[in-house]
Amino acid sequence: MPLTVLVGTQWGDEGKGRAVDVLSADAGMVVRCQGGTNAGHTVIAGETILKLRLIPSSILRPAVPVIGDGVVIDPEVLLGEIDALSAQGIHCDRLLVSGNAHLIMPYHRVFDRVIERHLGRAQLGTTRKGIGPAYADKAARIGLRVQDLLDMKIFGQKLEVNLKEKNAVLAKVYNQLPLDAKKIIAEYEGYAERLAPYIADTSLAISRALQGGLHVLLEGAQGTLLDIDHGTYPFVTSSQPIAAGILAGAGVGPCAVDRVVGATKAHCTRVGTGPFPTEIEGDIADRLRGVRGELGAEFGTVTGRQRRMGWLDGVLLRYATRLNSLSDVFLSKFDKLSGVGQLKIATAYRYEGEVYDEFPPHQTIFHKCEPIYEELEGWEEDISGARAFADLPAAAQRYVRRVEEIADVPVTWISVGPEREQLVSTATVSV
């Protein structure tokens, strides 16, 4: 009963959609476990390009797609995604949606917008999809769950209680018009009818799949540094994208895990505000980012925002190994480093004369530190045609080996382009 967890090791956008597509080739079930429509996972298979928000990135594979307990679901987006896929001939009939997952309500999206505006210069740069407010209601135990759609009477009662308080705050604090309960109920009644066939006990389904010997892949969203406990708080998301949070969101215990794969971009990126020690600007950043609209260009899948660029941060990679108990790294966008010239990896930080080779214990240090870089020789060759480790130029091989040393786990997959076959798997290479 192999269970694989896929986790992002940076600030999201590490190519997890691509990694899931690869890792799910033999999977019987793939589960989205936390986060919501803030995620944007891209999958490319030949002519088919999918930009997925809630549906697991394995949807082109035979695996049963599952949306687990820890996800916050915007039903309008989910149904829109199911319809858009169906229009492309990709059907989600076997999709299972946890009844315990929380619903994103219209007021969550409104609050996400007005709170950000209220924060002004201190704003987090959220995706404005209502993620934080939905998780806040979940923690406050006033959230509406997917299973509430199965009893619209209860749904209506819970909504009334919620709206009374939400509308008062919206009007008095944020100067917003109140939301109408009847309108929301009518809207969600429509969603209820369409979502009902998918609603299931997903933790039980996962357990049965594992007992039946199927390979189950847990697809993390966002990344380690966006974790609400262990990330760069408050510039984080409101769920737990680390492996333990992924397991909790799926409803699976830690002893079931065989492998924890850390999706890691060969350079680092970040969207939204918050500290980013290895951030770079200028020609190299522009080159790494690519041009808006190009395949693989570094602009947000969900928001279209330009991503901030940086060198690989080895301190954070080591931190991700520790927090997630990584067993492997899936290195993505490696081809983007070709022709960049001399490359850099941060191995420590300096702040007020002190050197920190672990994630600093205080936020001020992380905000103000200078990275200490190790320089690595670059390579000029186009590596997008590499299919074996030996096909890579010597300098590229050394970069991978250095990443392995820093992460202290093997780099088992190297993506050298967006297409499915543009992959080097070092699993069979003796080092």
Binding site for ligand IMP (CB under 6 A): 11-13, 38-40, 124-127, 129, 131-132, 221-222, 226, 235, 237-238, 271-272
Question: Does residue 404 contact residue 419 with C-beta atoms inside 8 Å?
Answer: no
CB of 127 to ligand IMP, least distance (A): 3
Helix 243-250, helix 202-211: angle, nearest 10: 100
CB of 349 to ligand IMP, least distance (A): 21
41 catalytic? Reply is yes
Per the listing, tokens 């924890």 go with 260
DSSP-derived pairing of the beta strands 411-415 and 370-376: unpaired
Q: Within 10 Å of residue 329's Cβ, how many Cβ atoms?
A: 27
Q: What is the number of the residue whose Cβ is closest to ligand IMP? A: 272
Nearer to ligand IMP, 4 or 222 (CB): 222
Residue 179 DSSP one-character state: P
Nearer to ligand IMP, 36 or 251 (CB): 36
Nearer to ligand IMP, 273 or 397 (CB): 273
The residue from 21, 41, 108, 313 that is catalytic is 41
The answer, yes or no, to whether the previous bond of 234 is cis (omega within 30 of 0) is yes
Question: Does residue 237 contact residue 273 with C-beta atoms inside 8 Å?
Answer: no
The residue from 13, 148, 227, 335 that is catalytic is 13
> Residue 43 CA to chain centroid, in angstroms?
13
CB of 370 to ligand IMP, least distance (A): 23
Per the listing, tokens 């088992």 go with 412
Question: Per DSSP, what are the bridge partners of residue 5?
Answer: 218, 260
Question: Does residue 25 contact residue 45 with C-beta atoms inside 8 Å?
Answer: no
Nearer to ligand IMP, 226 or 285 (CB): 226
Distances in whole angstroms, Cα of residue 188 to Cα of each of 73, 145, 302 = 12, 12, 23
CB of 429 to ligand IMP, least distance (A): 31
151 catalytic? Reply is no
Nearer to ligand IMP, 14 or 404 (CB): 14
CB of 320 to ligand IMP, least distance (A): 15
Question: Does residue 167 contact residue 178 with C-beta atoms inside 8 Å?
Answer: yes
Q: Within 10 Å of residue 351's Cβ, how many Cβ atoms?
A: 17
Catalytic machinery residues:
13, 41
